[in-house]
Each structure stands twice: as C-alpha cells, then as structure tokens.
Amino acid sequence: MFRKVLIANRGEIALRIICACRDLGIKTVIAHSQADSDSLPVLHADERLCIGPSSCAESYLNIAAVRTAAEISGVDAVHPGYGFLSEHPALAEACEAIGVAFVGPPTRVLRLLGDKSLARETMAEAGLPIVPGTPSFELPAEGESLGEALGFPLIVKATSGGGGRGLRVLRSFDELRSALPAACREAEAAFGDRRLYLERYLEDARHVEFQILADDERMVNLGERDCTLQRRHQKLLEEAPSTVLTSSSRRSLGALVVAAAQLVGYRNAGTFEFLINGQGDPFFLEVNARIQVEHPVTEMVSGVDIVKEQIRVSAGQGLSICQEDVRLTGHAIECRVNAEHPDTGIPSPGLIRRFSLPGGVGVRVDTYAHADCMVWPHYDGLVAKVVTHGRDRHEAIARMRRALEMTVIEGIDTTVALHLRILRDEDFLAGRYTTSYLDRLAN
C-alpha cells in the first residue's frame, strides 16, 4: 500500500480523499492555492504545499506545479479528485515520469476517453447506442458548418470537458454562431483545451449513469445513479436507483457498460453516462474517467468505499470486492448545497457566518465548509453534499427533508430552499421528472 499520497484538488473531495487515506493508514499531502490556505483539507492533511495563487490556471490546473509538489513531498501517488486535472493524460504522464502512481485510469485510457468526441466513436464501435453528433473542432466557423448539417436543437460541449461546464442548448443557426466563440474560450479556461463538439439535444430525457470499478482482473458494476435534475446542465440532485429503469433494462444496460469498459481495458473507477428518451431508449453520452461528485449515492446503496477501492487498485492490490459481493439495498438521494440563489441561480460567494449541518440516522454530509469560511468566487460553488439513505425512496426523501430543514447556513445564499421545494413536489415524489423538470418548476 502507498505510504503517502498527494491530493491535487480542493474542497469536499480533497477532504473525502484524506478520510479514505486515513482509513488505509496513508499519510496525505494537500497541494493547494493561496485562497485555500485555511481550508479544512489543508487543516487535516498531514502536510501541505501551496502551489500557486487563487487562479485555477496558476494552481490547480498547473501540471508543473503539481509535479513539483509530488517530487518535493516524496509521495508514492497523486490523487486528482474530480474536475481540474483529474482526466488530463498529461498529469498521468508527469506522474509516470517521476515514478509516482496516478490514482485513476491508465494514460492510454485517459487519452481515449478524455477526448469526449473520440470516446463517442469508440463506444459506438463497442456496441453502445450514441446520440447523433459531430467530430471535434477548434474553429467556430467549422462548428457552424457541422452544426447546420446535423440539425437543431443542438448542444455544444467541450471535448475535454466534464461536470456540465460549457454546455449550451442551441435551437437555431444564429444561436450557434453567437455561442461558439464564447464556448471555445470557456472550454480553454476550464480545461486548457478550446475544442468543442456538437450533439443533437434530446428533449425531456432522463440522465442515468453507471458506476464501475476495475482492476487488472475484475470488472465490477455498482449499479446506476439518476442525475436528471440539473440547472444549467449542472447536476443538482441525484438518486439511486433510478425510477426510470426496470430490472430488465438495468441488467441489459449494465452488461453493455461492462463489455464496453472491458473492450477499452478500463481500470480504476469510472462512470458511463446515458440519456434515456421518452420511449425508454438509452443513448451513450460520455465516460467520466475519475471519481464523480455524486459517488456517495452509490456508496450508500452498495456499502462500497469507492475512493478506497481507487487507491487499492492504483497501489497494485486490486479490488477488495467482486461482482458477487455487490448487494444494492434501499434508496439514496444526494442534494448539492451550492452557494447560489435558490430561484435565480446567481452565484453567492462570500463569508459563511453560521454553519450547521445535521446528522441522524441515514444522513451523510460531505463538506469542506465551516463558520467563518470563505466561499471563493474563483471556484465551483459547491458547499456541501447532503446524502440520505432509507429502506425505500419514501424514507430517503423523508430523511432528506428532515436534514435540510435542520440545516443552518448564513452569510450566503444556498440551494437548500430549492431542494426542499423539489422534495415536496408531486411530480418528483412520483418519480415523474425529466431534464426539463426544473424549468417547469420555476414557472
């Protein structure tokens, strides 16, 4: 097992990795920006190294700085968390160059699946149905031609993207022409790659993703999560299992995912994302070759610590479970508490004056926040993830309502009120919702 791991990330996922490492008896080093110097991950890591100023480009997206931090601290491995450099093959290569393990898929898999457009082509060859789309392009003029040929409505995506960043729905050629330059700039700022691609936009679909774990010998399917509830293409509430899949469709789609992952030689944790149309037909979207923000939902229904399994695989120990060990029980829901206005979605960075999140039976909270903590405008506005588990969906929802009603966060706006509104809505309670649900709820 590793002796010491560098965490190249921030916020709640950095603290989550610290917890997994402590369970495994591993020392941790946090590579952080100046803005995060007094954050909880920095407080709880065994060692800390400031790798740059507040700007993501000069800190968390700076491969040279992360590599130098790994060399200086003498770690055995680097865990990139999610976002930032988590799916960047150049970071994996930098780790290889200094003899440090990268906690994630092999470099060749990152290159294949990190290019979302190329991943679509590969998954189509593996037998997964895909949404009609275009190859990658860098010049807006090229995108205009490709989009006009594909037809509307369209959605534009960053080729190296993830987490819903940079997504835009386009319903006319004029919208396409005006959106592409800004989308290129946003992709370059977020991922260091300005390339985009286009897909046909499926109206009123469900967004379902399958979680897998793999080592050199075994592939384990941990079931699906439903991530349909999104605002501006950013996931807001997730649950497992999905209310839209039958036992038969769950088995068949899960088998396709495992076969596709085996075909590309997948290793470590990964998520295969799909859109399911009104007729129940699934369409492959992308593979997230990293830990997901919403991984706690799967951990609650499976009892598997996904981050610990990631570390075990990267250390060469292999998975501690096989498919026969997986028993999915009950229902879990995750609500993302973001620093934004519950109605408008306008970001609300600032100082948290009071902060109290609940516990109790069936409740888990992943957060980096505390009273007198700054939510910085430089980064994602996720403040906490409140996760509940129950014997069934009804109990999970009841526990989530109780948990959010007991939540106290003052000094910034948050999405707590929006979540409570959703959790009381008849359509949500009946499992009748699609990707346009929040638009309708707002009206």
**Catalytic residue ranges:** 290
Q: Give the whole-angstrom CA distance, residue 387 versus residue 296.
A: 7
178-190: burial string, b at 16+ Cβ within 10 Å, e else: ebbeebbebbbeb
Q: Is 167 in contact with 153 (CB distance < 8 Å)? A: no
Q: What is the DSSP string of 205-218?
A: -EEEEEEEEE-SS-
Q: Give the whole-angstrom CA distance, residue 54 versus residue 365.
A: 26
CB contact set of 61 (below 8 Å; sequence gap of 6+): 84, 85, 192
E strands present in 195-316: 196-200, 206-214, 219-231, 234-240, 268-276, 282-288
What does the angle CA 297 – CA 300 – CA 303 come to, to the nearest 5 degrees? 130
Q: Is 57 in contact with 33 (CB distance < 8 Å)? A: no
Q: What is the DSSP string of 161-173?
A: --TTTT-EEE-SH
Q: Give the whole-angstrom CA distance, residue 209 versus residue 284.
A: 9
